[in-house]
Amino acid sequence: MLRLKGIAQTLGSVLVTLFGLVFVTFIIGRVVPIDPIIAIVGDHAPPDVVAAARHSLGLDRPLPVQFLIYVNHLLHGDLGRSVMTSHPVTQDIAQYFPATVELATAAILIAMLVGIPLGVFAAAWQGSRFDQAVRVLSLAGQSIPVFVLGLIALLVFYVKLGWAPGTGQQDVLYDGMVPHVTGMLVIDAMLDGDWDAVWDALAHLALPALVLAYFSLSTITRMTRAFMLDALGGEYIVTARAKGLSASRILWRHGFGNIAVPLITVLALAYAGLLEGAVLTEVIFSWPGIGQYLTVSLLNADMNAVLGATLVIGCVYIGLNMLADLAYKLFDPRVR
What torsion do the CA atoms of 296, 298, 301, 307 make, to the nearest 10 degrees? 120
**Segment among 137-146, 236-245, 261-270 with least mean pLDDT:** 236-245
Cα→Cα distances 23→63, 71, 247, 319, Å: 11, 9, 53, 18
164, 45: one domain: no
Write down which residue in 44, 75, 106 finishes a domain: 75
Helices (H), 43-177: 47-56, 63-75, 89-124, 129-143, 146-153
Whichever domain contains 233, its CATH number is: 1.10.3720.10
Amino acid at 131: D
pLDDT category, 58, cuts 50, 70, 90?
Answer: low
pLDDT category, 6, cuts 50, 70, 90?
Answer: low
283, 211: one domain: yes
Task: Assess if residue 30 is contained within a domain.
Answer: yes
Average pLDDT estimate for 300-328: 81
3 state DSSP class of 81: strand
pLDDT category, 331, cuts 50, 70, 90?
Answer: low
**In terms of pLDDT, which residue wins out, 35 or 263?**
263
Average pLDDT estimate for 193-210: 89
56, 194: one domain: no
Average pLDDT estimate for 243-262: 78
Q: Which domain holds residue 181?
A: 90-331
305, 256: one domain: yes
* pLDDT given at position 238: 75
* pLDDT given at position 233: 78
* pLDDT given at position 252: 80
**In terms of pLDDT, which residue wins out, 207 or 51?**
207
Residue 11 has pLDDT above 80, yes or no: no
101, 51: one domain: no
Residue 335 has pLDDT above 60, yes or no: no
With contact defined as beta carbons under 8 Å apart, do 213 and 104 qualify? no
* pLDDT given at position 29: 72
Write down which residue in 13, 42, 75 finishes a domain: 75
Tell me how crowded residue 9 is: count the other CB atoms within 10 A of its CB.
Answer: 10
Q: What is the mean pLDDT of the chain?
A: 81
User: Please, which contacts does 231-238 make with residues 24 or more away whose CB atoms are closer than 8 Å?
Assistant: 231/255, 231/256, 231/258, 231/259, 232/123, 232/124, 234/258
Cα→Cα distances 259→108, 230, 311, Å: 18, 9, 33
pLDDT category, 39, cuts 50, 70, 90?
Answer: low
* pLDDT given at position 25: 79
Amino acid at 120: V
124, 257: one domain: yes
* pLDDT given at position 107: 92
Task: Assess if residue 80 is contained within a domain.
Answer: no
Integer Cα distance of 77 and 315 in angstroms: 13
Listed ranges 68-72, 198-202, 247-251; the one with the highest mean pLDDT: 198-202
Integer Cα distance of 251 and 262 in angstroms: 17
With contact defined as beta carbons under 8 Å apart, do 40 and 53 qualify? yes
Residue 159 has pLDDT above 90, yes or no: no
With contact defined as beta carbons under 8 Å apart, do 171 and 204 qualify? yes
**In terms of pLDDT, which residue wins out, 70 or 4?**
70
State percent of the chain over pLDDT 70: 88
pLDDT category, 43, cuts 50, 70, 90?
Answer: low
Total domains, the chain? 2
Helices (H), 179-256: 185-192, 195-232, 235-242, 247-249
20, 154: one domain: no
What torsion do the CA atoms of 78, 83, 87, 92 make, to the nearest 10 degrees? -80
Average pLDDT estimate for 160-179: 81
Residue 56 burial class via C-beta count within 10 angstroms: exposed 0-12, middle 13-18, buried 19 and up: exposed
137, 280: one domain: yes
Of the candidates 131, 219, 137, 260, which has an alpha carbon nearest to the alpha carbon of residue 251?
Answer: 260
pTM of the model: 0.83
Task: Assess if residue 82 is contained within a domain.
Answer: no
* pLDDT given at position 193: 85
96, 178: one domain: yes
195, 292: one domain: yes
